[in-house]
Amino acid sequence: MRFNEARKLVKQLKRFESQISDMVTIMGVEAKNHFTNSFRIQGFEDESIKKWEPRKRNSYRTRGGKTIDDSSRGILIGKGSGTLRRAIQYRKMGKYKTMISTGGLKYAKIHNEGGIGRAFGKYSFKMKQRQFIGNSGKLNRKIINKIKSKINIIFA
């Protein structure tokens, strides 16, 4: 290898190392966008979309006894709040890693995984799984393509 080629490669490697932080951010942003999109499409997207089962009840009573029709609301959107969707966040964990979480919302896990839960410490209920965060082949491909294009720019 010639001296100029070696110098060019060292320069590219330094540029690559300086871009690692941006690549980790790209992973976090792509994951957050992918998982929040689950609420728009009402299902989890892996290789295909696994639609969520509808709620059993599409209405509720207010304290005043008035019945409210809730059928047009999204499945995991709580009475207009969208707290669960907005809680999805990413955080860098060291130099090479990012973590996706729901910011400690207690009920996020039971919705994402399904199972038996407890309400108000005394009532138990069975929750259907309505996954919105998890491993996704489509997300992995999106991230890989974004990272590849960034690497191609660096080593062009």
Question: pLDDT tens track of the chain, all 156 residues?
Answer: 587 888 888 888 888 888 888 899 999 999 999 999 999 999 999 999 999 988 776 666 677 887 766 665 666 766 667 899 999 999 999 888 999 999 989 889 999 999 988 777 778 888 889 999 999 999 999 999 999 998 888 877
Instruction: Tell me the residue range of the domain where 112 lies.
Output: 3-154
pLDDT at residue 53, as a whole number = 87
Residues 126 and 115: beta-carbon distance below 8 Å = yes
DSSP string, 47-80: SSEEEPPPPS--EEE-TTS-EEE-TTS-TT--TT
pTM of the full structure: 0.80
pLDDT at residue 47, as a whole number = 96
As for how many domains the chain has, the answer is 1
104-127 per-position pLDDT tens digit: 898 899 999 999 887 777 788 888
| Structure tokens belonging to residue 45 | 């997207």
Length of the chain: 156
pLDDT at residue 101, as a whole number = 96
Q: Is 34 helix (H, G, I), strand (E, B) or coil?
A: helix
pLDDT at residue 46, as a whole number = 97
pLDDT at residue 120, as a whole number = 74
Q: Is 32 helix (H, G, I), strand (E, B) or coil?
A: helix
